[in-house]
Structure 1
C-alpha cells in the first residue's frame, strides 16, 4: 500500500509518501532524506529492493517537490524540526535514516540530538555526504552555481550542467526525474541551504553520534569524490565506509540493487551485534580507538604503486619484486586502488567470472592471503583490510594512475579555459601506450577505454584552442592524438585532414 499525502506543519504543507513493506511482519522503517535541489522521486529506483524488508517513508524537504517553502529562511536546524515533526505525527518508533548529499546534514543533526531524547533511531546511512570541503573551493563552487541560474526562477539550468557529473550514466529516465526536481526549487531556497558554513557543525555532530553509521559514495562521483567521504572515518569509530562501483553522486539511481543490498546487510549486521550485547559494542569501540592511536604512533609507512609506465610496487622506497605474477595479486591490488573498496562477490565476478561462486570465493580467499603477505610491514600498519563481506585498501598509498585519473576529473571542472588548456597539456604529457599494461580482464579494458576517451576529448579541446589562435601545427598535433584514441569518430578524421591541408 502506498499513501501520498500532506502534513500541515505550522503554515506549510509537507508532502510525504508512506510505503508499506511487502513483509507483513516488518517492524522497522527506513526514512529517506533527499539531497538539496532534488525531491523524493530520486529514491524510486532503490525502494523496490528495500520494501521487501522495511516500511518506507519518503518526503519532500520544504521548498522542494510538492512541499511548501514557507517564509522562514531555510537552515539545517529548521529542516531538522520538520523531520522530527514528521516522526512525531506518523508515530514512527523504530527507524533508520537514509540521507543524501547536504540532506545528510539533517540526518546527522537529528542523530546527534536523538540520543539525548530516545532510543528509536537504529542506524544512520549517508550517501555522498561531505563532512569537509575546502572552504575556498567550496565558495567558488557556490559562486559558479549561482552564475548558472542568474536571472532564473528555478534551478533547472544548474541541473542541466550537473547531470553528467551526478549520474553514471545520465539516462533519459534519470534526467526526467532530476530535471523535474530542479524545476521546482527556487535559487533562494537552494542557496540558503547549499554552502559550506554548516560543515564544521556537521563534523562535530558526527563525532557525538553513538549509533552505527554507514557511508556510501560513488566511485565516479566528481561532485563529492570518495576521498571527501572516506575522511569521515577519522571522526567516528562507528563509521563504516564503502565505495559503490560504477556510480556517481546519486548512487541509489546508478546502482540501486548494490546500494539496497549494502544497506540491508549493514542493518542486519548491526542487529546481530546488538544481540551480542553491550560488551561487544564497548570492546569494538575501544579496540578501534586503541588501534587508531597505535597507528598514529607508528612511523608512517608508505606504499607506492606505479602502473602507467610498467607495474612496480615499493614499500618505504624498497621495491617488492616477487609474487605479483601469482594468484592475481597485481590485478586485485590495482582494482582496489581504483575502486577504493569492493565486496568479495564483486571481486569474484571480475576475476573469476567463469567459475561457480563457491569455487571463486575459495580462490579469492587464497589470493587475498597472498596479497596481504606481499604488503606486510614489520609494524601494526595494514594496507589491505579484508572483512567478511568487503575488501579495501587503507593507509598512505600513492599511485601514478590514481593521481592521473584524479587530475583528469579535476581539470574538467576548471572554468578558466586557458588554465584548463594548460592542465590538459600537462596531463597529456603523461600519456603512455597503455595506461593499464598487463591487465586484460574486461573491467580493466573498460577502464582503459574510459581513460583513452578522456585523452581524446582533451586533445580535441586543445586542437580547437590552437586552431582558433592560428597555431595550426599545434592544432594538427593534438588532433592527431585525438584520432589515435577516437579513430572511429569520422568527424575527428575530417578535422585532422583539414588541418593537415593547412600545414605550411
Structure 2
C-alpha cells in the first residue's frame, strides 16, 4: 500500500506491507542518510510472514518532500510519532541502517515505551567531534564540487562488498540522485552526528538491542561498531559474512536469519563471566566511557589527508587546500615528497627537472620549495622542512595511494584461500588513475610497479576460480587489468582461452580486435 502522510509541512511517503498472518506486531524500517525505502526490498517479503512491515522515506529522500522546517531532532522525532499514530501503534520493533540507526537510537532514548526491540545495522553510536567535522566537510566538498553524483561515486562502492551487484549499485546511485537538496542532506548529517546524548545516557536504554555489521565494511569497521556492545545493557552483536555496509542487500538470507531469531525470541542470552573477566569488562567500560564522554581530544598535531587515486585533493584536518596546486610545480613536488620523504635537492632536480641544467634547476627548486612551504605549512605545523642538502616531508601525512600500495604489498605472502576477501578488496578498488596529471618518470615507473603487482593478484584470483570451475568469475578478474600498459602476451592468451571455454565468441572477437596491434 503506497501512501503519503502529512507531517507539519512535509509529505512523508510510506508503504504498509500487511502480514500474511493475523497479527498486531509491527516492524518499522528506517533507511540511512542518502538512501530511500526501496533498498529494503530483499528482506520485506520474509518479515511479512510474521509482522506488519512499514517502510518510509525520510524528509527530502525518495518520494518524500522536504517541507520547510530545518532538520533537527524535534522534527525527525515528530515525523516518527505521526507515523506511529497513523496506525495507532503503541509499541513495535525498529530496524535502522547507518544514520537511520542513529535516528532510532535517539528516538528510543526519548520515547522508550514505543520500543519492543531495536536493531541497528552498520551504525556508529558515537561521533568524535573532530572526525565528524572532517567527514561533514569532505562530503560537503564533494557535493558542492560535482553534486550528489560525486558523493554516490565515493560511497556506493564502499557500501557494497560485492562489486558484481549491478542492480543494487544502480538502486543506491538513484537514491542519492533523488535527494531534494544539498542543504537538506547536510542538515540531516549535521544533526545526526551532533551526539545529543553521551554514552552514559545511552547506556540507560534497557530494551533488547541487536547490533549488526558487515565483515568487510570500510565505512564503519567492526572495531568501531563493536563499541555498541559496551554501551547498551541488553545487546547482542552479529557480523554478517561477505558483506560491507549493507548486509541486508548483499547477504539477505543470513541477515534475515539473525533478525528473525532476535525478533521472535526477543530475550537476549546473557553470558555469565567469571569474577576476573567481569571486573576487566567493567573497568574497560568505565575507562572507555570517560574517554568518550569528555568529547574533547588533545590534538597533538595536524594531519594532511592526500587523495591521489582518481582525483587530487589535499585536506589539512578539516580545511581543504584548493588553490595554488597548478603553479610552480607545487603538485609535482608535493607528490614526489610523499613517496620520497627525505630527498636530496640534486635528486629532486634530476627526477623532476632533468631537461634543465643542474644550476638552473636548483635555483628553480628554491623558488618552488618556498612556494610549496607557504601553501602547506602554517603556524601550528611545519610539514615541509629543508636544509642546504635535503628536503623533508614531516608530520602526519595520510595518503590513499600509500595505503593502497601497503595493502597490495601485504598480500605478497598471504594464502589466497585464507585471505580471499583481502585479495578481492584490493583488486575491486583499482583506480582509473594513480597520479592525476602527474607525468614525471618516477610516477610512471611507480605506476608500472603497482600494475605489475595487481596483475599478479588478478592472476591468483583467476586461478583460484579456475580451480573451482568458476570460469566466468576467472575472466572478470583478468579483464580488470587488461588495460594496463605492462600487460604481457601470456595474460592475453589466458583470457582468450577462457572466452573459448565459455563459448563467449563476442568477447573473444572484441579482445582480438582491441589488441591486434599490441602483441
Q: TM-score range by the shorter chain?
A: 0.5 to 0.7
Q: Supply the distance in 1 between the matched residues of 2:78 and 2:276 (Cα, whole angstroms).
A: 38
**Conserved in 2, the CA contact under 8 Å of 1:64 and 1:184?**
yes
Q: Aligned pair 1:486/2:465, yes or no?
A: no
Q: Supply the distance in 2 between the matched residues of 1:228 and 1:266 (Cα, whole angstroms).
A: 22
User: Residue 411 and residue 255 in structure 1: after superposition, are their counterparts in 2 closer, same or farther (change >3 A)?
Assistant: farther
Q: Aligned pair 1:80/2:77, yes or no?
A: yes
Q: Supply the distance in 2 between the matched residues of 1:200 and 1:8 (Cα, whole angstroms).
A: 26
Aligned pair count reads: 362
Equivalent residue, structure 1, for 2:188? 193
User: Residue 33 and residue 288 in structure 1: after superposition, are their counterparts in 2 closer, same or farther (change >3 A)?
Assistant: farther
**Conserved in 2, the CA contact under 8 Å of 1:466 and 1:475?**
no
Residue 38 of structure 1 deviates from its aligned partner by 1.3
Q: Supply the distance in 1 between the matched residues of 2:117 and 2:139 (Cα, whole angstroms).
A: 33
1:276-317 per-position Cα deviation (integer Å, ceiling 9, x unaligned) = xxxxx9xx59x6797764124799xxxxxxxxxxxxxxxxxx
Give the TM-score normalised by structure 1: 0.63
Runs of 5+ consecutive residues of structure 2 not aligned to the other structure? 285-306, 315-334, 339-398, 460-477, 490-519
**Conserved in 1, the CA contact under 8 Å of 2:156 and 2:169?**
yes
1:139-170 per-position Cα deviation (integer Å, ceiling 9, x unaligned) = 22222211222166x63431232111112325
Query: 3-state SS of the aligned residue for 1:63?
Result: coil
Q: Aligned pair 1:495/2:495, yes or no?
A: no
Q: Supply the distance in 2 between the matched residues of 1:430 and 1:175 (Cα, whole angstroms).
A: 29
Equivalent residue, structure 1, for 2:130? 136
Equivalent residue, structure 2, for 1:217? 213
Picking from 3, 7, 26, the partner of 1:5 is 3
Residue 127 of structure 1 deviates from its aligned partner by 0.9
Equivalent residue, structure 2, for 1:270? 266
Q: Mark the structure with the bigger radius of gyration.
A: 2
Equivalent residue, structure 1, for 2:18? 20
Q: Aligned pair 1:161/2:154, yes or no?
A: yes
Q: Which moved more, 1:135-144 or 1:28-37?
A: 135-144
Q: Supply the distance in 1 between the matched residues of 2:16 and 2:248 (Cα, whole angstroms).
A: 19
Picking from 233, 238, 245, the partner of 2:234 is 238
Give the 5 Å matches for 1:78-157: 78-115=75-112, 118=113, 120-150=114-144, 155-157=148-150
Q: Supply the distance in 1 between the matched residues of 2:274 and 2:198 (Cα, whole angstroms).
A: 21
Equivalent residue, structure 2, for 1:450? 424
Residue 50 of structure 1 deviates from its aligned partner by 0.9
Q: Supply the distance in 2 between the matched residues of 1:76 and 1:238 (Cα, whole angstroms).
A: 25
Q: Supply the distance in 2 between the matched residues of 1:218 and 1:70 (Cα, whole angstroms).
A: 34
Give the 5 Å matches for 1:234-383: 234-270=230-266, 293-296=278-281
Q: Supply the distance in 1 between the matched residues of 2:167 and 2:92 (Cα, whole angstroms).
A: 30
1:105-126 per-position Cα deviation (integer Å, ceiling 9, x unaligned) = 22112212223xx4x5210011
Query: 3-state SS of the aligned residue for 2:14?
Result: strand
User: Residue 147 and residue 294 in structure 1: after superposition, are their counterparts in 2 closer, same or farther (change >3 A)?
Assistant: same
**Conserved in 2, the CA contact under 8 Å of 1:482 and 1:492?**
no
Query: 3-state SS of the aligned residue for 2:203?
Result: helix
Q: Supply the distance in 2 between the matched residues of 1:190 and 1:240 (Cα, whole angstroms).
A: 31
Runs of 5+ consecutive residues of structure 1 not aligned to the other structure? 274-280, 300-409, 499-504
Query: 3-state SS of the aligned residue for 2:226?
Result: helix
**Conserved in 2, the CA contact under 8 Å of 1:105 and 1:202?**
no
Equivalent residue, structure 2, for 1:436? 415
Q: Supply the distance in 2 between the matched residues of 1:298 and 1:199 (Cα, whole angstroms).
A: 23
Query: 3-state SS of the aligned residue for 2:242?
Result: coil
Q: Supply the distance in 2 between the matched residues of 1:412 and 1:242 (Cα, whole angstroms).
A: 33
Equivalent residue, structure 1, for 2:403? 423
Residue 58 of structure 1 deviates from its aligned partner by 0.9
**Conserved in 1, the CA contact under 8 Å of 2:10 and 2:68?**
no
User: Residue 56 and residue 452 in structure 1: after superposition, are their counterparts in 2 closer, same or farther (change >3 A)?
Assistant: closer
User: Residue 76 and residue 252 in structure 1: after superposition, are their counterparts in 2 closer, same or farther (change >3 A)?
Assistant: farther
User: Residue 493 and residue 252 in structure 1: after superposition, are their counterparts in 2 closer, same or farther (change >3 A)?
Assistant: closer
Q: Supply the distance in 2 between the matched residues of 1:14 and 1:481 (Cα, whole angstroms).
A: 51
Q: Aligned pair 1:207/2:207, yes or no?
A: no
